[in-house]
Structures are given as structure tokens and as C-alpha cells.
Amino acid sequence: MDSSQLLGITTFTYLFSSILYAVIFIFRAKSLGPATTVFTSIALLIQTIGIGLRWQESYQIGIGHAPLTNMYESLVFFAWTIIAFYLFLEWKYKIRTIGAFAVPFAFLAMAYASFSTEFSKEISPLIPALQSNWLIAHVVTCFIGYAAFTVATGLAIIYLIKNSSASRNSTDESTLLATLPSLSVIDDLTHKSMVFGFLWLTVGIITGAVWANSAWGTYWSWDPKETWSLITWFIYAITLHARYTRGWGGKRIAWLAILGFLSVLFTYYGVNFILSGLHSYGSS
């Protein structure tokens, strides 16, 4: 069995995990919780092995590089980081209903990677700019940040849905939304996820600047991807600043979390396919 088969299996295991978490949320099937967590952890393990095999396969064909260098590989790693971060939150806070709003993002990333015809899924040689020891450090730090922002978006959606219900004076504990954490808990987790993501994105931008200097002789060239990374950084910086200095929370932070995630998506995907620049190789 090769890496493509294992990663294909991962796509469907994340779909099944999404369904299981939705069942837990909709039908209050708490008894399914432990089994769902174990199943999702096994799916993450399968994906980890698949990524490892793809790395090994690159050496077998004489190329030899980390599987993080094109759109397909980055989508696979994006899904991996989302699940890893979500499982960490679930382990720490013991709240499984969040999975119904977080795990589907990983499935969508894997589904797009598996079925899209917009980019190649083949292992290809690195272009000169990518032949650097900074590759892993830059990509990994950025995607850990992206994963945290993705989960923060899922939490923000939960907050807005539950807050909308609360504003209609729907306090019946038998309602579906009663299975979700309290608004204060959701708000706190959204904030913590954004702080975590912001720290990793900051490190990602710094490592990217160092890498750019070694590859192109300048730390910053206002390439479209660099520019949009900075825009994304400022959105989250302003959001966190507003929370710490103005006491913003609730709906404001939830909407800003979603806005920030839209900026992340454009930084990651839109720049590769819409704008041309030094980072356009991400689509190849």
C-alpha cells in the first residue's frame, strides 16, 4: 500500500469522523464519544503514516524532500494539523460537540486534495527557492497557526448560533443547542485558539522572512503572499488588541475570527491561483 492509498483512506475516515461527531451533537449520543475520539485518533495515525510514506517515496525516486511543497501536500498537512489541534482541545477540555464544527474542515481539505483537478498530486523536484533547511520550519509553523484559526472559526460559528438562540429567549434545556458549551466557554476557547494561532503565524512569518533572504537576497519583497500574510497577521493582532484593551468579546470576536479565517484562506489558496508572484509555485 502506497501513500496515495493511505491518504485516500484518510479522506473517508475524516468524513466518517465528521458524521460521528454530528451524531453526538444532534442526538446527544454521548456514549459514542470515546469510540469517536479513538476512531479519529486512528484516522490521524493513518494520515501520519501516509505522509511518512510519501516522504520516503520521494527519496526512493531520487528527489528526497519533505511532503510540504505543493498544493496537494500542503492540503494534506493542513488537514493533519486541524485534527491534531482539535484532538488536543478535546483532550484538554473534554468537549466533544466541538468536533461537529471542527473536524469537517479537515475532511473538506482532504476531499479537495483528493478530488481536485486544479493541481498535480505527483511528487516533483523542488525548485531552487524551496531547496532550504527553512522549508519545514516555515511551513509547519504557518500551518499550525492556520489550524488553530480554523478551529477558532468553528468555535465562532458555534458561538453565533448559540447566541442567536439565546437572544430569542430559547432557554429550554431539551433543545439541540443545550448540548453545546456555555457562551462564556466558547468565547474563551475561541480567544485561546486565536492567541495560539497568532503566535505560530508570527513565527511562520519570521522564518519565512529568513528563508526569503537566503533564497532571494531580501527579507521582504511585498510579494502577494507576503502581503496577505501580513494583512492576516494584522487582522488577528487588532482582534487580540481589542480584546485585551477594549474588553471585546462575544459576537465581535466571533465575527473577527471568521474574517481572519477568510483572510487565511485567501493567503493560502487565493494568492496561489489568482495572484502571481514568487509563491505561485504553490499551485504546481
User: What is the structure's pLDDT at 269?
Assistant: 87
User: What is the structure's pLDDT at 19?
Assistant: 98
- R_g (Cα) of the chain, nearest Å: 19
Torsion of CA 240, 245, 247, 248, to 10 degrees: -40
The answer to whether residues 279 and 216 touch, using CB atoms and an 8 Å cutoff, is no
- Residue 91: inside a domain, yes or no? yes
Overall number of domains in the chain: 2
User: What is the structure's pLDDT at 222?
Assistant: 87
- 96 with 187, same domain? no
- Residue 109: inside a domain, yes or no? yes
- 81 with 185, same domain? no
* Residue 125: C-alpha distances to residues 64, 66, 81, 166 (Å): 8, 11, 24, 54
Q: Can you give the pLDDT of all 284 residues of the chain as single tens digits?
A: 899 999 999 999 999 999 999 999 999 999 999 999 999 999 999 999 999 999 999 999 999 999 998 899 999 999 999 999 999 999 999 999 999 999 999 999 999 999 999 889 999 888 777 788 888 999 999 999 999 999 999 999 999 999 988 777 655 555 788 889 999 999 999 999 999 999 999 999 999 999 888 877 889 888 888 999 999 999 999 999 999 999 999 999 999 999 999 999 999 988 877 766 555 544 44
> Of the candidates 124, 152, 186, which is a domain's last residue?
124
- Residue 102: inside a domain, yes or no? yes
The count of other CB atoms within 10 Å of the CB of residue 171 is: 9
Write down the number of H helices and E strands in the chain: 9, 0
- Residue 41: inside a domain, yes or no? yes
- Residue 283: inside a domain, yes or no? no
The one-letter amino acid code at 152 reads: A
- 120 with 131, same domain? no
- 108 with 155, same domain? no
User: What is the structure's pLDDT at 284?
Assistant: 42
What range defines the domain where residue 230 resides?
127-278
User: What is the structure's pLDDT at 135?
Assistant: 87
- 138 with 116, same domain? no
User: What is the structure's pLDDT at 283?
Assistant: 43
User: What is the structure's pLDDT at 277?
Assistant: 55
User: What is the structure's pLDDT at 153?
Assistant: 98
- 151 with 269, same domain? yes
> Of the candidates 124, 146, 166, which is a domain's last residue?
124
CA distance 209 to 233: 14
* Residue 265: C-alpha distances to residues 27, 56, 84, 229 (Å): 32, 29, 19, 10
- Residue 215: inside a domain, yes or no? yes
- 99 with 25, same domain? yes
Buried-state track 6-22, b at ≥16 Cβ within 10 A, e below 16:
bbbebbebbbebbebbb
The one-letter amino acid code at 134 reads: W
- 141 with 232, same domain? yes
User: What is the structure's pLDDT at 130?
Assistant: 75
What is this structure's pTM? 0.94
- 108 with 178, same domain? no
